[in-house]
Amino acid sequence: MLISLCNETLAPMPFTEQCAFARAIGYDGLEIAPFTFGETPWRMPAAERARLRMIASDAGLQITGSHALLWGVNSASITCSDAQRRAQTIDILRGLIELTADLGGTVMVHGSPMARLIDDADPDGARRGMESLAVIAPDAEAAGIAYCVEPLTKKENVFVKTIAEALAVADEIGSPAICSMIDCAAAAAGEAETVPELIRRHIPSGRIRHVHFNDPNRRGPGEGALAFAPILTALKETGYTGNAAIETFVFEPDGRSCAARQIGYLRGVQEALAL
């Protein structure tokens, strides 16, 4: 299992420095938040994509995938009733699929809660969300991308809140590219089962293609009450060999310190368990 760092943790460090630092403290890769590359990363020139991929490779890292896909794109929505907005969002997602593949990534995590809100007065929002994902499924297939619909436990009413709902969407679409993932913080806060139970239930099916390591307090592994030894044990027992990434939202005292502490904690747990 490769463990990557979500690269917004190290923003605004230049990408070359992000890669060198992440590798030096023990990460296998970086998971890209597209907004760290500017306001319209899906329009990045081919030469720049090749340059970034080479920077990571030269540092001994893989760019494993992307997340926070629509963060900062205020007009984006896959669920709204405005057909033009949805079409523009789909075009952006297609561009991000291409960008992720060009950077060497194989996994995309579709979180972005503000772009999948559902109005209680609009019963068709969920249907439109599913249709939007179905439209981009062939693009993800062609690019070799596992497109993970992330369950979100938010105060806002969002499309897809549980792993069961995410897998139902994947079943309805019927594309091998559309799948789901386990975000430890969201799963611990919003699912009926524990994170290790969810891992043991779903990982053997092959339909969970990614894992985010984080704590319900929005910090990283080892910085809250969630125990990661049982989580890592369950991943080992179920034979998970995919990618995982540390994704956090609170960087105190700073991103560099958090990144180092979090990977040190996980590597220490792995060593203690002989994983």
What tokens appear for 178 in the block? 């559309």
pLDDT score for 182 = 98
Options 3.20.20.140, 3.40.50.1010, 3.20.20.150, 3.30.1490.480; CATH of 2-273: 3.20.20.150
| Structure tokens, 191 | 């699912």
- pTM confidence score: 0.96
- CA–CA distance, 271 with 275 (Å, rounded to integer): 6
- Whether 192 and 162 have beta carbons less than 8 Å apart is answered as no
- pLDDT at residue 274 in the model: 84
pLDDT at position 55 is 98
Mean pLDDT, each 10-residue run in order, the chain (275 residues): 97 96 98 97 98 98 98 95 97 98 98 92 93 98 98 84 96 98 95 96 96 97 96 97 96 97 97 86
Dump pLDDT digits (tens) for 134-160. 999 999 999 999 999 999 986 668 999
Q: What is the pLDDT of residue 154?
A: 67
3-state secondary structure the chain: CEEEEEHHHHCCCCHHHHHHHHHHCCCCEEEECHHHHCCCHHHCCHHHHHHHHHHHHHCCCEEEEECCCCCCCCCCCCCCCCHHHHHHHHHHHHHHHHHHHHCCCCEEEECCHHHCECCCCCCCHHHHHHHHHHHHHHHHHHHCCEEEECCCCCCCCECCCCHHHHHHHHHHHCCCCEEEEEEHHHHHHHCCCCHHHHHHHHHHHCCEEEEEECCCCCCCCCCCCCCCHHHHHHHHHCCCCCEEEECCCCCCCCHHHHHHHHHHHHHHHHHHHCC
60: left (phi over 0), alpha (psi -120 to 50) or beta: left
What pLDDT shows up at residue 119? 86
Write down the pLDDT at residue 68: 97
- Tell me what pLDDT residue 57 has: 98
Residue 64 · residue 107 · CB < 8 Å: yes
252: Cα separation from own chain's centroid: 22
Contacts of 36 (CB under 8 A, 6+ apart): 7, 8, 11, 12
Chain segment 64-98, per-residue pLDDT in tens: 999 999 999 999 999 999 999 999 999 999 999 99
Domain ranges of the chain: 2-273
